[in-house]
Amino acid sequence: MSKNQEKLHFELLNFIVNVGWTHKIHAVRIDELESYIRWFRIATIIISGVVSSGLVGILCFDEYWIKLVTAFLSLVTTIIFSITKEFNFEERLALERKSVDELWNLRVSAENLLSEVV
């Protein structure tokens, strides 16, 4: 192998490793985003149910603590909805999935090129 071929071979190997790590980082980010989405949905469902029950409690009983807890949980639900809307986890998840696919295709192409060079 000539010196230029060795250099190209080394650069391609380095590129493949770097793309592989970047692919892995994006795959981990996908898992994180899916976890955030799942927990925000679970929290929203649970808190919404509790708030609905609290509203029924307010209608049936005139207890101050029920009103206070219901108001607080309504605030928490609003904050969760605002966070999910502001950070748009679904769109970020779609972009990460697209990036992972593109990185994988790039790595496969580089591996094919490496096999042709050697």
Q: State yes or no: pLDDT of 58 exceeds 80.
A: no
CA distances from 27 to 37, 74, 99, 111 (A): 15, 34, 9, 20
Q: What local confidence, expressed as pLDDT, does residue 97 receive?
A: 96
**Which of these, 24, 28, 19, 30, lies nearest to 94 by C-alpha position?**
30
Q: State yes or no: pLDDT of 52 exceeds 90.
A: no
Instruction: Return the higher-pLDDT residue of 42 and 114.
Output: 42
Domain count within the chain: 1
pLDDT tier at 69, thresholds 50, 70, 90: confident
Q: Note down the domain range covering 15.
A: 3-117
Q: What local confidence, expressed as pLDDT, does residue 60 receive?
A: 81
- Inter-residue contact 67 to 59 (CB < 8 Å): no
Written as six digits, the tokens of 45 are: 């469902």
Average pLDDT of the chain, as a whole number: 90
pLDDT tier at 17, thresholds 50, 70, 90: very high
Check residue 1 and report its DSSP letter. Answer: -
Its sign, for the CA torsion 70, 73, 77, 82, is: positive
Q: What local confidence, expressed as pLDDT, does residue 10 receive?
A: 92
